[in-house]
């Protein structure tokens, strides 16, 4: 089967940026981690439909949600939303609330053999680094995997997500940064 004949379910994923926290009851949580570093706190979730990362500095909050569809999420506090198709970049400066945000989105459709090799590499990577992860099986029996890897710095929090979607042999990757502006 060629890549052009596959259903590209990554196309229904959306990256949504909020200036508020999200309530856990909106999601079916599969994995959760809270990290505190210096002046900020981060809560990361892997859900049955994607991932969510909340970044809090003082009383300011920004939340990234990358989820399948997203039509069930509230519009209150929504700053930006973009479909996860192809390659995209988005940046928001810190002038409004003291938290800057930038992200890069990439999607790729692979052959089944290359997809399975990449999946095994990402499983090893998640195990070696202690990244949050979730494994499940697509409707066609091909394994799927979500990995959320993070790095903490004094004024920044970096994270990469990898959504390996076996139903269509697509990979959705995001690289995002929350950054503190202490002059805010």
pLDDT tens digits along 28-60: 999 999 999 999 999 999 999 999 999 999 999
pLDDT tens digits along 123-178: 999 999 999 999 999 999 999 999 999 999 999 999 999 999 999 999 999 999 99
In this prediction, residues 88-114 reach a mean pLDDT of 94
Local confidence band at 184 (pLDDT 50, 70, 90 cut-offs): low
**120 C-beta neighbours (distance < 10 Å), count:** 12
For the entire predicted model, the pTM comes to 0.91
pLDDT tens digits along 164-179: 999 999 999 999 999 9
């Amino acid at each position: 089967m060629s890549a052009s004949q596959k259903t590209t379910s990554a196309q229904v994923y959306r990256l949504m940026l909020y200036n508020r926290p999200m309530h856990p009851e909106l999601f079916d949580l599969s994995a959760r981690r809270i990290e505190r570093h210096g002046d900020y706190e981060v809560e990361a979730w892997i859900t049955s439909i994607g991932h969510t990362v909340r970044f809090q500095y003082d009383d300011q909050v920004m939340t990234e949600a990358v989820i399948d569809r997203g039509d069930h999420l509230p519009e209150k506090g929504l700053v930006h939303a973009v479909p996860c198709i192809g390659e995209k970049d988005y940046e928001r400066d810190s002038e409004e609330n003291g938290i800057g945000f930038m992200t890069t989105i990439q999607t790729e459709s692979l052959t089944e053999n290359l997809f399975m090799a990449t999946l095994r590499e990402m499983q090893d990577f998640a195990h070696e680094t202690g990244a949050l992860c979730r494994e499940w099986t697509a409707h066609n029996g091909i394994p799927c995997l979500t990995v959320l890897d993070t790095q903490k710095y004094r004024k920044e929090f970096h994270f990469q997500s990898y959504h390996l979607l076996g139903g269509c042999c697509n990979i959705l990757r995001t690289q995002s940064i929350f950054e503190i502006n202490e002059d805010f």
